[in-house]
Amino acid sequence: MRATSEKLPPGDQLAVVRRRHSWLINGDFFTLKPTGVARYAFEVTRALDTLIAEGHPLTREIELTVLAPRPVPPGILTCIPIRVVPEFRKPRLPQFWVQAQLPRVVQGGLLSFCNLAPVLVSRHIVCIHDLHTWIMPESYGLLFRLAHRAILPVLGRRAKMITTVSELSRSHLIEFGVSPAHKVVIAYNGSDHVRRWSPTRSRLSLGERPFVLALGRKLAYKNGALVWRIAEALDARGIDVYVAGDLDESAIRQFGPQKPRNIRLLGRVSDDDLALALSHALCFVFPSRIEGFGLPAVEAMALGCPVIASDAPCLPEICGDAALYADPDDRESWIAAIDRLRLHPTARLDLIAKGYRRAGRYTWRAAAETYLDLMARVDREDDVPIRTTG
């Protein structure tokens, strides 16, 4: 423990006691697929680990530990220890570990990165990525919507600070009354994790024809049907459409009565497979109707793949002038944007260069430093001056 004091009249002393503060990381993300919010959680944790190894000044007064519901493969982190709090397996209920088991062992502060987090912990910094369950409820099942509607406003009131990943998401948190404005801070995603991806490790086989790449998700706001609608026109131009992601037969039927012949479903792919596809694609098409951040677009930019994105929120905020934009419902505008990149190599190269620069603005280190700042802010509130009489 360290103490500092200022000079006061004889007999009085004002001491500000500073100590190392304990902070825990909610490791429920280790049980999730390594995409979306789980990617964010893992990469921020990894960046915090790196900053500790480097001796970043803001890490000197904190002790970080990850609490995970299951054993984690060794070697993931260098400096931050991982402690397993075994989850109950029978019965296995959604959110039981997070809401019932985790709070029992929390001492000090808690970081939670994946939206739903323990409502019983108040010394808490929580990342709420978006409010899609409010804005596009048709994309989610009833229980998922109810859980978010019930838990997120409680977190917004009880937690010390709320983070989110874009100005758009911040405005929604305030507009829908989930959290007051003074508590909401933006901690953007990063893009530098793609440097660990290697096309040479991919086993994906690419065809001879040029192709555009899209992600396949059956969530309504992802607007997967747009890819089906533009496929025929692209086929006439000698272009295939590769769709990466888990799509079952019911999802495919939602997109159209018959799969166009030039659409190739890649299924779930590895990061290395995605790196190979992006490095060879004519462009990446991202027709979502709304995103909290839009990480796939930034990943594509970081790998030198031109991006055509929806002009719906919040992709223009994140991508800036480093992408071409199209109306999510206007088939012709997507085809015209693809034609621009196909017919004008110089314009395509210019967009690639802008994409590299734009993606470089988003780093996990910056996100981790934001969390270090917030932890220090919360800790300062606990370092209350103590007046003593000699």
The 3-class secondary structure across the chain, one letter per residue, is CEEEEECCCCCEEEEEEECCEEEEEEHHHHHCCCCHHHHHHHHHHHHHHHHHHHCCHHHCCEEEEEEECCCCCCCCCCCCCEEECCCCCCCCCCCHHHHHHHHHHCCCEEEECCCCCCCCCCCEEEECCCCHHHHCHHHCCHHHHHHHHHHHHHHHHHCCEEEECCHHHHHHHHHCCCCCHHHEEECCCCCHHHHHCCHHHCCCCCCCCCEEEEECCCCHHHCCHHHHHHHHHHHHCCCEEEEECCCCHHHHHHHCCCCCCCEEEEECCCHHHHHHHHHHCCEEEECCCCCCCCHHHHHHHHCCCCEEEECCCCHHHHHHHHCEEECCCCHHHHHHHHHHHHHCHHHHHHHHHHHHHHHCCCCHHHHHHHHHHHHHHHHHHHCCCEEEEC
Q: CATH code for 199-359?
A: 3.40.50.2000
* Mean pLDDT across the chain: 91
Average pLDDT over residues 154-161: 97
Average pLDDT over residues 289-301: 97
Q: What are the residue ranges of CATH 3.40.50.2000 in the chain?
A: 2-190+363-389, 199-359
Lowest average pLDDT, out of 5-9, 192-196, 250-254, 336-340, goes to: 5-9
State the pLDDT confidence band at 19, using cuts at 50, 70 and 90: low
Share of the chain above pLDDT 90, in %: 82
State the pLDDT confidence band at 247, using cuts at 50, 70 and 90: confident
- At residue 355, does pLDDT exceed 80? yes
Please give the pLDDT value at position 198: 97
Average pLDDT over residues 324-334: 97
Identify the architecture of domain 2-190+363-389 in CATH: 3-Layer(aba) Sandwich (3.40)
- At residue 264, does pLDDT exceed 90? yes
